[in-house]
């Protein structure tokens, strides 16, 4: 029957090559058996209408082929997909930030010097490069996750008994991270000393055969006008970190103070970006600062959202819940 042949052919198109011939042969014979049976029951010879009825009951070729497929076919499986989706989301944010930064710089440049306005051609050129980079990274990310998926699928299931003692401890979101805070103190001191006493070392470094190690200082002398403000911010941040370390746990007041410090940092970044040129390669450095500003802005927005959504989280351990009433905050 021509209709059955077309159906069987279509199912085969959606099957792996190694299964195709075998499944098609079996499927054809099964369908012919079904049509003949229905023709006997109907009391007339098999015809196109009966064949259509049987094929409709069977299902679309794609559905049937999917059921014959040896195992669930996916590039990135359910276990890895949440991590993949997060990674793609982060990458999309970075691309969006870059596009926004590019737009802001273009607008600022046009406002300052209308004769040096960003042309449509150059705008499309940069846009194309950003999108190309985004697509390339998306493909690379997908490839990495697909490889990890395939490797995990081939790993044998050992069937070891699950050990509850191996569970990680419950993280206390209010506990201050000692390494994080200590590193923060170190970084603040390092930046303060660097920018105040060794500004020439804020530079791009390189090695060239024949020339040896070279460096291009990034800061112009005009940068000194921001030092008092930066020193104030570093002093505040240093003191804040010390207080938080001493308390050992985050509280509402310290979380709000952290948010306020973030706003101060944003204010300083905006001032530097909009201010006169104080860097060599000023536009490039300011582009980087714009990206930092966007990141800082998103971080502060996230902090504010969490602060407004609920108060400081309290973890009740089993020791605290021995009494019938919950512990008072």
Partner 1 sequence: MAFQTSCLLTYCVAHCIVRGMVSSEAQTALRENLSLEFRRGALVLAVLSQLHEEQYGYSLKKLLAGRGLEIDEGTLYPLLRRLEAQGLLRSRWRVEDGRPRRYYRASPLGEQLHRELGADWRALARAMEQLLG
Smallest separation, CB 22 to partner 1 (Å): 8
Under rule CB under 8 A, residue 309 binds partner 1: no
Q: Which of 9, 16, 48, 59 binds partner 1 (CB under 8 A)?
A: 59
**Dist CA 94 CA 100 (whole Å):** 10
Contacting residues for 234 by C-beta, under 8 A, at least 6 apart: 188, 191, 192
Q: Which is nearer to partner 1, 60 or 254 (CB)?
A: 60
Residue 212, phi-psi category: left (phi > 0), alpha (psi -120 to 50), beta (remainder): left
Smallest separation, CB 37 to partner 1 (Å): 7
**Rule CB under 8 A: which of 70-89 touch partner 1?**
70
Smallest separation, CB 136 to partner 1 (Å): 39
Q: Which of 58, 191, 226, 259 binds partner 1 (CB under 8 A)?
A: 58
Q: Which residues lie across from 207 on neighbouring strands?
A: 213
The window from 54-62, 148-156, 301-309, 320-328 that contacts partner 1 (CB under 8 A) reads: 54-62
Residue 264 exposed, middle or buried by CB count within 10 Å (0-12, 13-18, 19+)? middle
Q: Which of 5, 6, 21, 33 binds partner 1 (CB under 8 A)?
A: 33
First to last CA, the chain: 79
3-class SS letters over 259-293: HHHHHHHHHHHHHHHHCCCCECCHHHHHHHHHHHH
Q: Which of 5, 13, 21, 37 binds partner 1 (CB under 8 A)?
A: 37
Under rule CB under 8 A, residue 293 binds partner 1: no
Under rule CB under 8 A, residue 177 binds partner 1: no
Which whole-number Å values give the CA distances from 141 to 72, 83, 138, 248, 318, in the listed order? Answer: 22, 11, 5, 39, 42
Q: Which of 2, 41, 57, 115 binds partner 1 (CB under 8 A)?
A: 57
Q: Which is nearer to partner 1, 36 or 299 (CB)?
A: 36
Instruction: Confirm if 51 and 3 have CB atoms less than 8 A apart.
Output: yes
Under rule CB under 8 A, residue 67 binds partner 1: yes
Under rule CB under 8 A, residue 25 binds partner 1: yes
Under rule CB under 8 A, residue 23 binds partner 1: yes
Q: Which is nearer to partner 1, 26 or 253 (CB)?
A: 26
> For 232, which DSSP code?
H
> For 155, which DSSP code?
S
Instruction: Confirm if 202 and 217 have CB atoms less than 8 A apart.
Output: yes
Under rule CB under 8 A, residue 191 binds partner 1: no
Q: Which is nearer to partner 1, 68 or 238 (CB)?
A: 68
Q: Which of 49, 63, 172, 200 binds partner 1 (CB under 8 A)?
A: 63
Which helix (H) or strand (E) segment holds residue 212: the answer is strand 212-217
CA atoms within 13 A on the CB side of 91: 18
Contacts to partner 1 by CB under 8 A: 23, 25-27, 29-30, 32-34, 37, 57-59, 63-64, 67-68, 70
């Amino acid at each position: 029957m021509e209709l059955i042949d077309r159906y069987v052919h279509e199912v085969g198109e959606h099957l792996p090559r190694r299964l195709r011939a075998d499944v098609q042969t079996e499927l054809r014979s099964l369908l012919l058996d079904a049509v003949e049976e229905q023709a006997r029951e109907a009391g007339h010879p098999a015809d196109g209408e009966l064949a259509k009825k049987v094929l409709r009951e069977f299902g679309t070729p794609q559905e049937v082929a999917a059921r014959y497929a040896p195992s669930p076919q996916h590039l990135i499986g359910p276990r890895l997909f949440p991590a993949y989706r997060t990674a793609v989301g982060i990458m999309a944010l970075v691309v969006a930030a870059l596009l926004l930064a590019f737009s802001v710089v273009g607008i600022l440049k046009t406002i300052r010097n209308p004769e040096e306005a960003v042309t449509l051609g150059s705008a499309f050129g940069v846009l194309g490069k950003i999108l190309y980079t985004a697509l390339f990274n998306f493909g690379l990310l997908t490839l990495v996750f697909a490889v990890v998926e395939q490797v995990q699928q081939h790993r044998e299931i050992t069937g070891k008994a699950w050990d509850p003692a191996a569970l990680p401890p419950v993280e206390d979101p209010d506990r201050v991270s000692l390494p994080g805070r200590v590193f923060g103190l170190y970084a603040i001191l390092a930046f303060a000393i660097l920018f105040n006493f060794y500004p020439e070392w804020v530079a791009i470094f390189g090695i060239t055969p024949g020339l040896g190690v070279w460096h291009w200082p990034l800061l112009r002398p005009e940068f000194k006008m921001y030092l008092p403000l930066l020193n104030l911010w570093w002093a505040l941040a240093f003191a804040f970190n010390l207080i938080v370390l001493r308390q050992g746990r985050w509280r509402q007041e310290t979380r709000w103070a952290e948010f306020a410090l973030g706003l101060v940092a944003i204010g300083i970044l905006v001032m530097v970006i909009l201010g006169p040129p104080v860097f060599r390669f000023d536009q490039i450095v300011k582009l980087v600062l714009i990206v930092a500003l966007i990141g800082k802005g998103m971080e502060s927005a996230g902090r504010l959202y969490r602060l407004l959504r609920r108060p400081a989280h309290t973890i009740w351990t089993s020791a605290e819940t021995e009494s019938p009433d919950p512990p008072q905050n």
